[in-house]
Amino acid sequence: MAETKKKVVIVTGGSRGIGRAVSLTLAAAHWTVVINYAGNEAAAKAVLSEIEEKYGPGKAIAVKGDVSVTADVKNVFDKAEETFGQVNAVVHLAGVLLDTYPKISETTEEDWDRTITINTKGTFIVCKEAEKRVASGGRIITCSSTLVITLAPGYAAYIASKAAVEAFTKVLAKELRGKNITANVISPGPTASEMFFAGKTKETIAAFAKQSPLERLGQPEDIAGAVKFLVSEDGRWVNGQVIRVNGGSVMAVIAVFVYI
């Protein structure tokens, strides 16, 4: 992306976990950050304060909004444009993961609907708005999971929601022809975040960590580094790709640990 006086990025789910790391990492890389959050205002304000303390006022704003609600998403983009004049990138990380890991036969319709609504419909709505609003030379990044290729039992709803994200982000990259905007998917492996830890025993967490040849969980900053590359000028020729940021994790035996 060509250098501009102000590079503005919207980070959905930008107040906690991977989203928090992305917000802070991009702020350090001279991006102006719009921190979108769904409900935890305190967490969003904490990230906002940290950015302002390090880089000065006017480097970030926090905007509440449910990504599965069109009006909320439009408002996030409106606030970004009203405050900073433009949107140069969107990093869509907001999502949910069930903390009970049920088999398909045990997954309730309510849990299925919630997962698909937030993860898939939410990504669709954000991408639809991003296509209209992101400036030429910009970036759109969505979020999947390495589980899409490992197909672990207990994650059917989540995997289905993220597989759809991968498919239509690749289509989006083609439909952006002529706009000089790239669209890619970031696909983390097991990453040490609140969402990952929820509902897991210490034994299960340790088993996940062993799946990578690097013998550890990913850290939110590991994922943020890959995002930083994709939105940078160095990432200009990466388009329509799914980037597996998982430390080489081969979770072939993950099913054994889910039910520990």
What is the count of structural domains for the chain? 1
**Is 180 inside any structural domain?**
yes
pLDDT in tens, 181-237: 999 999 998 888 777 778 788 888 888 888 889 989 889 999 999 999 999 999 999
Q: Which of 98-102, 132-136, 144-148 bottoms out in mean pLDDT, i.e. has the lowest? A: 98-102
**Is 240 inside any structural domain?**
yes
* 146 contact partners, CB below 8 Å, separation of at least 6: 187, 188, 189, 190, 244, 246, 249, 251
- pLDDT confidence of residue 252: 43
**Is 255 inside any structural domain?**
no
Type of residue numbered 244: R
CATH code for the domain in which residue 35 is found? 3.40.50.720
- pLDDT confidence of residue 204: 83
The single residue of 37, 101, 155, 158 carrying the catalytic annotation is 158
**Is 256 inside any structural domain?**
no
d(CA 84, CA 76) in angstroms, rounded, equals 12
Backbone angles phi, psi at 160, to 5 degrees: -60, -45
Q: Find the domain containing 79 and state its range.
A: 7-190+219-249
State the average pLDDT for the chain: 92
| Residue 257 in this model has a pLDDT that exceeds 90 | no
Q: Is 55 an annotated catalytic residue?
A: no
Rounded to 10 deg, the angle between the 41-55 and 17-28 helix axes is 20
**Is 110 inside any structural domain?**
yes
**Is 142 inside any structural domain?**
yes
**Is 232 inside any structural domain?**
yes
